[in-house]
């Protein structure tokens, strides 16, 4: 019950921000031009600052588990390849293909995962999870750009895809965060505090923009896509990866990050990225909303089973 309450408390603030955006649209305070401008601002400014700070402040020296990193990155790569081959076979519309692929492999690892991991493992054992966040977030973003660029429409252009990857603000922020961390570049305190403050508004503003674009009436138009993506994100993907990792000997503070990485709800930033890169924004918004809600139940069930088996 404690873990269920924890998961609920982590996800509830996300829903409150989403509902605020939805309410603001309903009363006319968030019209389409404002929503588009806010979404663009989050994607190009606030989310990159948040991502840079998360990686920049990760203490790489506290814990380095090569086995965990290799398993997680290779598992993510395998999942991505399978999705890139499988989703186009069951979905005909390009704007929805990229969104579905992104929603299944890309989790809200940092915002959802870190609080859950700290509760399950304790603050003293957070090293593996924090390091994995710093390593996998750039991978998440690069794969998301590849998926969305591939299915943007028409014949995929390698040059255009590479240009889209190279100029993506989230990828640039990730690479800068890694470089500053590894090179031990210390920012002036005033600059760092400003980055923290500006990055801190990324999540609530993204969620408000998300809520303002969400229309319950639109769900009926892609019910099938929702079911497939929800099952892949919250059940199939974490079930396979957690089972494989347990068989390979991962336990406790090394098993928890794998569960969260593959079982967390779809990343909030997937919504503005999808909109900015020609994806189906309505479907992307719905997937963030529904995975965030249903993850309370699925994460609780996974934790309950793993605890019962003595694996965490």
**Architecture in CATH of 2-308:** Up-down Bundle (1.20)
What gap in Å lies between CA 34 and CA 26, rounded to an integer?
Answer: 14
The pLDDT value recorded for residue 223 is: 87
What gap in Å lies between CA 67 and CA 166, rounded to an integer?
Answer: 29
The pLDDT value recorded for residue 230 is: 95
**Buried b / exposed e along 78-109 (16+ C-beta atoms within 10 A):** ebbeebbeebbeebeebbbbbbbbbbbbbbbb
On whether the CB atoms of residues 285 and 270 are closer than 8 A, the answer is: no
The pLDDT value recorded for residue 96 is: 94
What gap in Å lies between CA 49 and CA 206, rounded to an integer?
Answer: 13
The pLDDT value recorded for residue 263 is: 92
On whether the CB atoms of residues 151 and 98 are closer than 8 A, the answer is: yes
* pLDDT < 50 positions in the chain: none
In this structure, the number of other CB atoms found within 10 A of the CB of residue 283 comes to 24
The pLDDT value recorded for residue 246 is: 94
The pLDDT value recorded for residue 265 is: 87
What gap in Å lies between CA 245 and CA 134, rounded to an integer?
Answer: 20
């Amino acid at each position: 019950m404690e873990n269920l309450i924890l998961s609920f408390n982590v996800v509830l603030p996300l829903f409150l921000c989403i509902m605020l955006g939805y309410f603001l649209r309903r009363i006319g305070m968030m019209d389409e031009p404002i929503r588009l401008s806010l979404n663009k601002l989050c994607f190009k400014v606030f989310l990159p600052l948040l991502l840079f700070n998360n990686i920049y402040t990760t203490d790489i020296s506290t814990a380095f588990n090569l086995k965990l990193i290799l398993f997680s990155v290779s598992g993510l790569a395998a999942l991505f390849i399978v999705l890139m081959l499988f989703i186009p076979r069951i979905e005909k519309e390009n704007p929805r293909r990229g969104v579905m692929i992104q929603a299944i492999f890309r989790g809200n690892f940092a915002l959802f995962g870190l609080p859950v991991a700290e509760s399950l493992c304790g603050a003293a054992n957070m090293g593996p999870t924090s390091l994995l966040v710093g390593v996998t977030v750039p991978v998440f973003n690069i794969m998301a750009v590849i998926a969305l660029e591939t299915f943007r429409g028409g014949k995929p252009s390698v040059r255009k895809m590479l240009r889209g990857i190279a100029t993506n603000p989230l990828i640039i922020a990730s690479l800068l965060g890694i470089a500053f961390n590894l090179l031990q570049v210390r920012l002036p305190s005033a600059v760092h505090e400003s980055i923290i403050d500006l990055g801190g508004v990324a999540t609530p503003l993204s969620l408000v923009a998300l809520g303002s674009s969400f229309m319950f009436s639109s769900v009926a138009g892609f019910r099938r896509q929702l079911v497939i993506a929800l099952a892949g994100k919250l059940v199939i993907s974490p079930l396979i990866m957690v089972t494989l990792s347990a068989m390979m000997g991962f336990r406790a503070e090394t098993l928890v990050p794998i569960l969260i990485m593959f079982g967390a709800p779809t990343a909030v930033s997937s919504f503005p990225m999808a909109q900015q890169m020609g994806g189906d924004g309505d479907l992307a918004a719905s997937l963030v909303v529904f995975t965030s809600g249903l993850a309370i139940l699925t994460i609780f069930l996974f934790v309950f089973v793993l605890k019962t088996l003595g694996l965490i």
